[in-house]
């Protein structure tokens, strides 16, 4: 929609920013510099005007969150503003915020802003595996952002098996738990990815989580890997078969009862008890 007022804002800002005595790095009542406000709200015209001033420091963080203008633009998906900021040589693209230690890359990966992730990965200073308690890959995998997962996995230095610090969940486990089949497939294409690492809280493997939550396609993908043990049990002694049966995922029960590459030739799969008898597990 045509809005004359919005069109006049950059013009008025240009007149104001042209005054030498105006401190363009001063903080507002909301603890933001003009650049932080403009970047966080996607006002590219104002960001461009501010960045043309040499006396503007593009790395000043907000007082409350400790987020830089680039961090705010990355979190909110303002690709144009992020690109303008990255055009300034003195912009540090990997500064973590003081609230929770998240970098611009982490915020962009978590929120599915693929274009910004690509821009940030183009900067040598950005660590694609950098983390606070989670890696960018972990956040993107859990949310099912396939494009971002693919971009990150293209970087050889990205370790696909780094677990989060809280529950010990790998990116593959998170994707399997949520049923993000496309992400699971991408992660399994990395030969060094271990598809059978359990979390540290429940002791459940990716297969167990996928079986419990009824993600048939994911279960099938995991069972194709020889390293996956279909009979592993969690901290409560429950196997993937038990979890699938308990939750009445009949098709997954059939898949788990079928012969698996890891099982000996003389292995005879046991039929699970009727589902209605398993509700007390």
Per-residue pLDDT of the chain (281 residues; tens, 9 = 90+): 333 333 344 544 544 454 455 556 565 555 789 999 999 999 999 999 999 998 999 999 998 889 999 999 999 999 999 999 999 999 999 999 988 889 999 999 999 999 999 999 999 999 999 867 899 999 999 999 999 999 999 999 999 999 999 999 999 999 999 999 999 999 999 999 999 999 999 999 999 999 999 999 999 999 999 999 999 999 999 999 999 999 999 999 999 999 876 655 444 444 444 443 343 34
**Structural domains present in the chain:** 1-158 (1.25.40.20), 167-281 (1.25.40.20)
Neighbour tally for 261: CB within 10 Å: 11
* Contact between residue 172 and residue 184 where contact means Cβ atoms under 8 Å apart: yes
What gap in Å lies between CA 198 and CA 202, rounded to an integer? Answer: 8
Q: What is the DSSP letter of 195?
A: T
pTM for the structure as a whole: 0.85
Distance set, CA 56 to CA 17, 50, 91, 119, 132 (Å): 10, 7, 11, 22, 29
């Amino acid at each position: 929609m045509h809005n004359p007022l919005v069109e006049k804002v950059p013009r008025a800002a240009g007149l104001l920013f042209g005054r030498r005595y105006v401190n363009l790095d001063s903080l507002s009542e909301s603890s933001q510099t003009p650049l932080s406000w403009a970047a966080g709200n996607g006002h590219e015209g104002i960001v461009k005007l501010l960045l043309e001033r040499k006396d503007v420091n593009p790395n000043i963080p907000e007082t409350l969150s400790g987020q830089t203008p680039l961090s705010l633009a990355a979190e909110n998906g303002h690709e144009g503003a992020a690109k303008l900021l990255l055009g300034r040589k003195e912009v540090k693209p990997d500064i973590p915020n003081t609230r929770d230690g998240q970098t611009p890359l982490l915020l962009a990966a978590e929120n599915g802003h693929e274009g910004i992730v690509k821009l940030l990965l183009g900067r040598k200073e950005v660590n694609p595996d950098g983390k606070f308690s989670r890696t960018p890959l972990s956040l993107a995998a859990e949310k099912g952002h396939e494009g971002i997962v693919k971009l990150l996995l293209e970087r050889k230095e990205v370790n696909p098996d780094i677990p989060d610090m809280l529950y010990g969940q790998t990116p593959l486990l998170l994707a399997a738990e949520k049923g993000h089949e496309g992400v699971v497939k991408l992660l399994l294409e990395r030969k060094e990815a271990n598809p059978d690492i359990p979390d540290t809280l429940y002791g459940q493997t990716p297969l167990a989580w996928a079986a419990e939550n009824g993600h048939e396609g994911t279960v099938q993908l995991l069972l194709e890997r020889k390293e996956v043990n279909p009979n592993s049990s969690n901290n409560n002694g429950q196997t993937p078969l038990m979890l699938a049966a308990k939750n009445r995922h009949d098709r997954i029960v059939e898949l788990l009862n079928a012969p698996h590459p890891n099982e000996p030739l003389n292995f005879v799969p046991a039929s699970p008890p009727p589902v209605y008898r398993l509700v007390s597990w």
